[in-house]
């Protein structure tokens, strides 16, 4: 429990520092860059406070580091020279004089709370020393690897598309984006279910709380719904939506 509390403290102190930097830069979207590395910080804190480190914990740490570095690098490359993300600018304008307080509570602290919940597989892995089911762990690792590749390819394809002059005002509908409207989200969800299953193989099925919450957030709350809302009444989008599934490739469009 002390290790978990130490992780809580380190993450929230880190978020407070990032919040201060964001206010000076007038760019709250820098919080997105910290999302992945935040989980690395949790892992490192738990490892530094552990008395014994098991091979399964080292493997999980490696899985988190690879995912986090790729995601942070991608977000950083995408945001260089573009200023604050439009979503955060809209929040800033809506919150008016209480922008800083709302940003602190509803962006930075909320992200910290969500990070702690989604990190359930990490906490269970570093606080339990149970014997592992290596078959289940292998299945989890394969899901993680497949999701990582799927998400990485989808992000790269979209990044290339958006950098083409001819793509301005157009929708990305080729590559993995031809079989799913959100292949990057599909990869992210699969990846985290893989992490959860890998952790559960050595600890408890409660490790699956993290990926389950992430799944709900992406599908029902702040992922797909918010992103698709901006395309309302767009004929090009309506056509794309009618023939392409929202998330799972090769399923029936909804």
Domain ranges, residue 110: 1-129
pLDDT (0 to 100) of residue 52: 85
- Which of 65, 99, 129 corresponds to the end of one domain? 129
Give the pLDDT confidence score for residue 223 in this predicted structure: 86
Domain finish residue from 129, 148, 178: 129
* Mean pLDDT computed over 159-186: 90
pLDDT tens digits, 5-34:
888 899 999 999 999 999 999 999 999 999
> How do residues 50-85 score in pLDDT, each as one tens digit?
888 899 999 999 999 999 999 999 999 888 878 888
Q: Are residues 137 and 208 in the same domain?
A: yes
Over residues 157-165, the mean pLDDT reads: 89
Angle of helix 31-49 relative to helix 110-118, nearest 10 degrees? Answer: 50
Q: Got the DSSP string for 169-229?
A: T----SGGGGT-S-HHHHHHHHHHHHHHHHHHTTS-GGGGHHHHHHHHIIIIISSHHHHHH
pLDDT reported for residue 228: 87
How many domains does the chain contain in total? 2
Q: What is the mean pLDDT of residues 220-232?
A: 86
Mean pLDDT of the chain: 92
The answer to whether residues 169 and 87 belong to one domain is no
Q: Is 253 left (phi over 0), alpha (psi -120 to 50) or beta?
A: beta
> Residue 189: what pLDDT?
98
Query: Do 79 and 190 share a structural domain?
Result: no
Residues 52 and 33 in one domain: yes
Q: Tokens representing 184?
A: 């990057």
Q: What is the pLDDT of residue 91?
A: 86
Query: What is the rounded average pLDDT of the residues 86-91?
Result: 86
Same domain, 94 and 182: no
Residue 245 in this model has a pLDDT that exceeds 80: yes
pLDDT of residue 137: 96
Question: Do 123 and 1 belong together in one domain?
Answer: yes
Same domain, 79 and 108: yes
Do both 74 and 146 map to the same domain? no
DSSP state of 97: G
Residue 76: predicted pLDDT? 92
Judged by DSSP in three states, 245 sits in coil
Q: Same structural domain for residues 124 and 156? A: no
Asked if residue 107 and residue 140 are part of one domain, the reply reads no
How far is it, in rounded angstroms, from Cα 194 to Cα 211? Answer: 9
Confidence at residue 63, expressed as pLDDT on a 0 to 100 scale: 98
Assess contact for 107 and 28: CB atoms under 8 A: yes
Domain edge (last residue) among 67, 101, 129: 129
Percent of the chain at pLDDT exceeding 70: 99
100 plus 203 within the same structural domain: no
CA dihedral sign of residues 46, 52, 57, 59 = positive
Nearest to 67 by CA among 154, 157, 182, 152: 152
User: pLDDT band at residue 97, thresholds of 50, 70 and 90?
Assistant: confident
Position 149 pLDDT exceeds 80: yes
Position 226 scores a pLDDT of 85
Is residue 159's pLDDT more than 80? yes
Checking if the pLDDT of 169 tops 90, the result is no
Q: Which residue has the higher pLDDT, 130 or 126?
A: 126
The yes-or-no verdict on residue 105 having pLDDT over 80 is yes
Asked if residue 239 and residue 122 are part of one domain, the reply reads: no
């Amino acid at each position: 429990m002390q290790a978990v509390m130490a992780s809580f403290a380190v993450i929230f102190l880190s978020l407070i520092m990032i919040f201060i930097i964001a206010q000076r830069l007038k760019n709250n979207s820098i919080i997105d860059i910290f999302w992945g590395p935040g989980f690395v910080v949790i892992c490192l804190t738990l490892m530094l406070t552990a008395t014994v480190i098991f091979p399964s914990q080292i493997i999980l740490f490696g899985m988190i580091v690879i995912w986090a570095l790729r995601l942070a690098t991608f977000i950083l490359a995408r945001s260089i020279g573009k200023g604050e993300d439009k979503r955060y600018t809209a929040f800033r304008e809506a919150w008016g004089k209480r922008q800083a307080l709302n940003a602190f509570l509803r962006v930075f602290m909320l992200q910290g709370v969500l990070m702690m919940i989604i990190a359930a597989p990490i906490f269970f892995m570093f606080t339990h020393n149970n014997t592992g089911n290596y078959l289940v762990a292998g299945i989890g690792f394969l899901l993680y690897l497949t999701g990582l590749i799927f998400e990485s390819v989808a992000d790269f394809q979209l990044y290339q598309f958006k950098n083409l002059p001819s793509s301005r005002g157009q929708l990305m509908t080729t590559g993995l984006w031809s079989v799913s409207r959100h292949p990057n989200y599909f990869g992210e969800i699969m990846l985290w279910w893989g992490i959860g299953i890998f952790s559960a193989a050595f600890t408890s099925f409660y490790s699956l709380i993290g990926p389950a919450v992430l799944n709900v957030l992406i599908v029902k709350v702040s992922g797909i719904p918010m992103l698709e809302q901006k395309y309302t009444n767009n004929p090009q989008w309506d056509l794309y939506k009618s023939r392409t599934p929202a998330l799972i490739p090769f399923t029936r469009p909804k």
